[in-house]
Amino acid sequence: MKIKQYLDSTYLKTAGQAGLSETENAAVAQKFIQEAIDEQFKLIMIRPERVAMAKEMIAAAKSKVTIGTVIDFPEGRSPIEQKLAEAKQAIADGADDLDFVCNYEAFKKGEIGLVKEEILKGTQIGLENHKIVKWIIEVAALNPQQIVQLSTLIKNVVVGNFKEDCYDQVFVKSSTGFYQTADNQPNGATVETIIMMLENASPLPVKAAGGVRTYEEAVQMIQLGVKRIGTSSAKAIANGQVSDSIY
C-alpha cells in the first residue's frame, strides 16, 4: 500500500505547548516540512504563520508536497468573519488545504443556523480558490448522536449548495488532537467514530486525525474508507514503527 499518499504530516504546537522558544519551535516546524519533502508525504499540515515558509521550502525543492493549515484552531468559536479572514490570509500565503474547526459548541447549543452559515461560507471561499476544505468536528467533544448529526449537517450543506464534482474536495475531519478529555479518554479518531462519520458524511470524504500511531492502525483506517490521515508520526507510520506521540 502506498501509504504516504494518505498521510498529512502534522505539526501544530505553539512554542508554549511544545515548551520551546519561538526560534526553537520554528526549527521544529522547519524539520517537519523538510521531512515531508524528503519522504514525499501527501501534505504538510502546519500553523498559519508557517505556510509562507513551507511554500518557499517546497518550491525550492521542486516537491509535490501540498500545504495545509488550520483555521480558527483549536476551539472553532470565533465569529464567521474572523474564520473567513483567516482563510483568505492562508490562501494568500499559499495554503492548498484549509482545515476549519467547526463551531461544535454552537452546534451542541442548537445554534444550527450559525453552523450552517460558517460551513457554507467557509466551503465557498475554499472551493472558489481551488482549495481542499476540511471541517473538523472534534469527535471527543461530541456524543455518538451528535457525531452523526454534525457529519450529516456538513454533508447536507455541501450537497445542497455545491456541484457534485466538488464533493471530493470537502472533507469531514475527526479531531484537532488538542481537545482535553477526562480520564485520558481518546481525543482523536477511533474506529467507532470513523465508522459513524463515514456512514453519515458520504459522499464527502473523511479524514481521520489524532490517535493513529502505527502502520497497522493507518491501514485499518484506510480499509474502513478514510481518504486522509492526520498524524505527527507520519515517518514512523510509513516505516512500520510505533510512535508514542499523542497525535
Backbone angles phi, psi at 179, to 5 degrees: -70, 135
Q: Contact at 8 Å (CB) between 189 and 174?
A: yes
All three cell numbers of 128: 472558489
**From the candidates 42, 83, 207, 235, which is the catalytic residue?**
207
**From the candidates 99, 131, 155, 235, which is the catalytic residue?**
99
Indicate if 8 belongs to the active site. no
Name the CA dihedral angle for 31, 36, 39, 41, rounded to a multiple of 10 degrees.
Answer: 160
Q: Contact at 8 Å (CB) between 194 and 206?
A: yes
Amino acid in the structure at residue 211: G
Indicate if 55 belongs to the active site. no
| Per-position b or e across 176-188, b if 16+ CB within 10 A of its CB | bbbbeeeeeebbb
**From the candidates 42, 83, 131, 173, which is the catalytic residue?**
173
Indicate if 134 belongs to the active site. no
Residues in CB range of 77: below 8 A, 6 or more apart:
103, 105, 106
Whole-number CA gyration radius for the chain: 17
Fill in the DSSP letter of residue 202: T
Residue 178 and residue 56: Cα distance in Å, rounded? 28
Which residues belong to the active site? 99, 173, 207
